Homo-oligomer: A and B are copies of this chain.
Amino acid sequence: MPIHCVVNGVAGASLDLFDRGLHYGDGVFRTLRLEHGQPRWWREHLAKLADDAIRLGIPCPDPTMWQADLASLGGRPGDGVLKILLTRGTGPRGYRPSERAQPNRILILDPAAPASDAWPGHGLNLRVCALRLAAQPALAGIKHLNRLENVLARAEWDDPEIHEGLLLDAAGHVVSGVMSNLFVWRSGELRTPRLDQSGVAGVARTRLLRLAAAAGFSVRETEISLADVLAAEELMVCNSLIGLRRVARLGDRVWPESVVSARLAGLLDA
Please determine whether A136 and B108 come into contact, CB atoms closer than 8 angstroms.
Answer: no
**What separation, in Å, do the CA atoms of A65 and B170 have in the docked complex?**
39
Q: State the Cβ distance, A87 to closest chain B Cβ, in Å.
A: 8
Q: Does A261 contact B (CB under 8 A)?
A: no
> Which one, A14-22, A41-49, A250-258, is touching chain B?
A14-22
**What separation, in Å, do the CA atoms of A88 and B178 have in the docked complex?**
19
**What separation, in Å, do the CA atoms of A19 and B5 have in the docked complex?**
13
Q: Mark A32-67, 1 if CB is under 8 A from B, else 0.
A: 000000000000000000000000110000000000
Chain B residue at minimal CB-CB distance from A29:
B23
Q: Mark A116-130, 1 if CB is under 8 A from B, else 0.
A: 000000000000000
Q: Does A68 contact B (CB under 8 A)?
A: no
Q: Does A155 contact B (CB under 8 A)?
A: yes
Please determine whether B151 and A95 come into contact, CB atoms closer than 8 angstroms.
Answer: yes
Contacts of A150 in B (CB 8 A): 24, 95
Contacts of A31 in B (CB 8 A): 93
Q: Does A145 contact B (CB under 8 A)?
A: yes
Q: Does A175 contact B (CB under 8 A)?
A: no
Copies of the polypeptide in the assembly = 2
**What separation, in Å, do the CA atoms of A144 and B24 have in the docked complex?**
9
Chain B residue at minimal CB-CB distance from A106:
B17
Residue in B21, B81, B106 whose CB lies within 8 Å of A93: B81
Supposing A136-B134, A152-B56, A152-B138 touch, asked if A145 and B15 sit within 8 A by C-beta, the answer is: no
**What separation, in Å, do the CA atoms of A37 and B144 have in the docked complex?**
37
Q: State the Cβ distance, A28 to closest chain B Cβ, in Å.
A: 10
Q: Does A146 contact B (CB under 8 A)?
A: yes
Please determine whether A148 and B23 come into contact, CB atoms closer than 8 angstroms.
Answer: no
Contacts of A25 in B (CB 8 A): 24-25, 145-148
Q: State the Cβ distance, A173 to closest chain B Cβ, in Å.
A: 14
9 A-B contacts (beta carbon < 8 Å): A7-B17, A13-B17, A13-B18, A24-B151, A25-B146, A93-B108, A97-B154, A134-B135, A144-B148
